[in-house]
Structure 1
Amino acid sequence: MGVSDERRATRSATEQRSAVRERYADIATRSTNEGCCAGDGCGCGSDGLDARTRELGYDDAELETVAEGANLGLGCGNPTAIAGLEAGEAVLDLGSGAGFNCFLAAQAVGPSGRVLGVDMTPEMVEKARANAARNGSDNVEFRLGEIEHLPVADETVDVVISNCVVNLSPDKRGVFEEAYRVLRPGGRLTISDIVRTAPFPDDVLDDSDALAACVSGAETVDEVARLLAAAGFETVDVSPKGESESFIRTWDETRDLSEYIVSATIEAEKPR
Structure 2
Amino acid sequence: MDSGENVKQVVRERYGAAAQRVARGDRNACCGGKGAALDAVDPITSNLYDASQAAGVPEQALLASLGCGNPTALAELRPGETVLDLGSGGGIDVLLSARRVGPGGFAFGLDMTDEMLALAQENKRRSGLKNVQFLKGEIEHIPLPDNSVDVIISNCVINLSADKDRVLREAFRVLKPGGRFAVSDVVVRGEVPESIRRSMNLWIGCVAGALSHDEYLAKVRAAGFEQAAIEVTRVYSAEDARDFLAQEGEEVRQLAAQVDGKFVSGFVRATKPAGASTARIEPKSSTQADQASCCAPGCCGT
The two structures share one fold, judged by TM-score above 0.5:
yes
Kindly name which structure, 1 or 2, has the bigger radius of gyration based on alpha carbons.
2
Task: Name structure 1 gaps, 5 residues minimum.
Answer: 1-9
Shift of 1:243: 4.2
Deviates more, 1:118-127 or 1:86-95: 118-127
1:214 matches 2:216 = no
Structure 1 residue aligned with 2:156, among 164, 180, 187?
164
Write the letter of the residue equivalent to 1:267.
R
CA distance in 1, matches of 2:54, 2:114: 25
Matches within 5 A, 1:34-113: 34-38=27-31, 39-40=33-34, 43-45=36-38, 48=40, 55-56=47-48, 58-71=49-62, 72-113=64-105
- Per-residue deviation at 1:50? 11
Contact 1:36-1:75 at 8 Å conserved across structures: no
Aligned residues: 260
The Cα shift of 1:19 comes to 1.2
Give the match for residue 186 of structure 2: 194
- How many angstroms apart in 1 are the aligned matches of 2:238 and 2:96? 25
Separation of aligned partners in 2, 1:101 and 1:242 = 19
Q: Which runs of 5+ in 2 are unaligned?
A: 247-252, 275-302
State the distance in 2 between where 1:51 and 1:118 align: 26
- Deviation readout 1:188-221 (Å, 9 max, x if unpaired): 0001101112333233122210011111001111
Percent identical residues: 42
- Does the aligned pair in 2 maintain the 1:55–1:247 contact within 8 Å? no
Structure 1 residues 243 and 69: CA distance shift in structure 2, 3 A: same
* Cα deviation code 1:47-102 (max 9, x no counterpart): 5579986633x210001110111122411110001000011100000000000011
CA distance in 2, matches of 1:206, 1:167: 14
> Which residue number corresponds to residue 4 of structure 1?
none
Q: Distance between the aligned counterparts of 2:205 and 2:43, measured in 1?
A: 20
Structure 2 counterpart SS, 1:193: strand
Query: Any conservation in 2 of the 1:248–1:262 contact (CA below 8 Å)?
Result: no
Q: Which amino acid aligns with 1:192?
A: S
Cα–Cα, structure 1 residues 69 and 49, in superposed 2: closer, same or farther, change >3 Å? farther
8 Å contact kept, 2:227–2:270: yes
RMSD in angstroms over aligned alpha carbons?
A: 2.3
Kept after mapping to 2: 8 A contact 1:34/1:40: no
1:224 offset after TM fit, Å?
0.7
Distance 1:247 1:70, change over 3 A: farther
Counterpart amino acid of 1:251? F
TM-score relative to the length of structure 1: 0.88
Letter in 1 for 2:99: Q
